[in-house]
Structure 1
Amino acid sequence: MTEIRALFAGLAALILVGSVPATAAEWKAYSPEALAAAQADGKPILVDVFAAWCPTCRAQNPILVKLTKQPKYKDLLVLKADFDAQKEDLRALNVRSQSTLIVFKGDKEIDRSVGSTNELSIEGMLDKTL
């Protein structure tokens, strides 16, 4: 009987969590197609260009995770691009370095930074997409 109650409690929790509106940005892997689709939909977009070996990228990541959990960024789409594996795709965006952050509002590039780990500066960039 206890197992059945636990099962129902778990299902109820899942239903409640599933019915809560999204309050954080959506994160996806970067692809030119994902960027084009989000631009066509007029979405606010952050392209986060990282490299696994990059200390600046590792410093940026927790800042981005923290900021994009804020409800004001609920409509933001974060596209995470691998600098080493996606060099060809990133050339179209004129990306020359890892730790590059690019924000778009629809199909218009609004701002770009390379190597910034200042939380207020990054937040200011993201705010431009709102």
Structure 2
Amino acid sequence: MSFARLVSAAVLAAGAFVAGPASAAEFRPFDRAAFTAAQAQGKPILVEVAAWWCPVCHSQEGTVKRTVAASDYDKLVVFKINYDRQKDEWKSFGVDKQGTLIGFHGTHEVGRIRFRTDKTEIANLLATTVHQG
């Protein structure tokens, strides 16, 4: 293999690694109307309250993205609330700290995790959220 092809292959492989896994779930910025509509449709929903500067939030987000890459999560909608800009929204969920994950199935809250990064705990919340219905 020529040096140019070897470099091209390495760059492509690095790009695939950086991009991360494809997701079966839908990711959206939090919007009250869209959230209410998803609840009315009985969808499994994860509300993720996160700050860009929060290492716990980044860890949670990585675990969520890896977990929901499976086809079991193709109905899941993940709404991300910006902790710094959407204070009224996260307060309306009874949240007092960034790094909070809340699972809903339709209008029913099925569980929440507050400022924890345990991969198994997050995976269990996601599974419960999707399979509750």
TM-score (structure 1 length as normaliser): 0.80
User: Which position in structure 2 is the counterpart of 1:80?
Assistant: 80
Give the deviation of 1:91 after TM superposition: 1.5
Per-residue CA shift, 1:44-98, capped at 9, x if unaligned? 0000110011111111111111011111111100001101100011211111110
Q: Give matches, 1:45-56, under 5 Å.
A: 45-56=45-56
What runs of 5+ residues in structure 1 fail to find an aligned partner?
1-21
Question: Residue in 1 aligned with 2:122?
Answer: 122
Aligned to 2:102: 102
Q: Look at both structures and tell me which one has the larger radius of gyration over its CA atoms.
A: 1
The equivalent residue for 2:59 is: 59
- The equivalent residue for 2:13 is none
Paired with 1:127 and 1:55, the residues of 2 have a C-alpha distance of: 24
Task: Tell me, in whole angstroms, the C-alpha distance in 2 between the residues paired with 1:127 and 1:61.
Answer: 16
Partner of 1:29: 29
* Local SS of the residue matching 1:128: helix
Aligned length, in residue pairs: 109
Q: CA RMSD in A?
A: 1.4
